[in-house]
Amino acid sequence: MSENNTNDMIYNWRNELKSHNDGVVVVAQSQATKYKNQGFDKSEVVELLAADNFDLEIANRVASKLFDNVESSVENTAVEVAVVPTRYSDCAPIIEKTLTKLSSKEFVKRLCTGPYSVIKTDEKGLSQWQRWAELAKSSRVGMDNLHVALKPFIEETLLNNVLIAEAQFAEIKTSSKNKYVVSMKRGSAVVDLSSASSDSEKYIQGNYADFGLADEYLVKAADTVSPYQRLKRALTD
C-alpha cells in the first residue's frame, strides 16, 4: 500500500495512533499519571518529569493533557463504536461497560494477566490497577483517571496490531455473511466484522472483547473488505 494515499485505512490508523504513541510521550504519560495519583499537582508533575530527563515541552504537554483535558480527551458518551477502533475513545465505552459488569479484581485480572494481556505488571502493579478500578466504579472522576492511565496501553496495543497487519500479506476468504477466514504467516483466524470478534488466540486470551480491541486479523479483514468506511456496531450487553 502506498503511504501517499491519504485514504489508506491502515496507513491512517498507523499515523493516527503513532501521534499518540511516540515512545517518549507514552513513557512520559505513564510517569505523569503515576505522579498525579501520588498526589502531586500539575506544576509538580512538570518538575518531576523534567527531573526524569523528559524534554520540558513534552512535560508541559503531558501534564496539561492530564490535568486540564481529562474529560475532553476521552469521548465516553458514544453509543456506537468502530468495529476496528482507531483511537482510545472508540474503546472507552466498552471499557466502561466491562467495568460496570465485573468486579474490580476480575476487571484487572482480564486486563493484566495472561500471555496476551494488555498490561504487563507485577503484584504491586496489580494492586495499583485494582485501586484505580475501584475508584472508577465509585465516581466519575475515578473513571476519568482510569481512562487516562489506560489510554497509552490501549493505544499501544492497537498500534502494534495495526503494524502487524500492515507488514503481512493475508489471504482472505468469505466464511459466511460478515465472517471471513484471514490467513497470514503467523496463523489464521475467523473474524466477524458485524460483532468485531476474532477467534485468534491473542483476541481470546487477551480478553480483547472486554476492552474493545482488535487483533491484526480484524484489522486486515476490515481494511480489505471495507477500506474506505468506518464500520460501526451498536454496543450490546
Mean predicted confidence (pLDDT) in 101-122: 94
Residue 86 CA from chain centroid, whole number: 9
For the ranges 87-91, 176-180, 233-237, the lowest mean pLDDT is seen at 233-237
Torsion of the alpha carbons at 46, 52, 55 and 59, rounded to the nearest 10? -20
Mean predicted confidence (pLDDT) in 101-117: 95
For residue 66, the model assigns a pLDDT of: 82
| Average model confidence (pLDDT) across the chain | 80
For residue 181, the model assigns a pLDDT of: 93
Residue 110 CA from chain centroid, whole number: 14
Global pTM value:
0.65
Q: How far apart (Å, rounded) are the C-alpha atoms in residues 5 and 11?
A: 8
Q: Which residues pair with 176 in a beta bridge?
A: 179
Q: Which of 31-40, 51-60, 63-72, 198-207 has the highest mean pLDDT?
A: 198-207
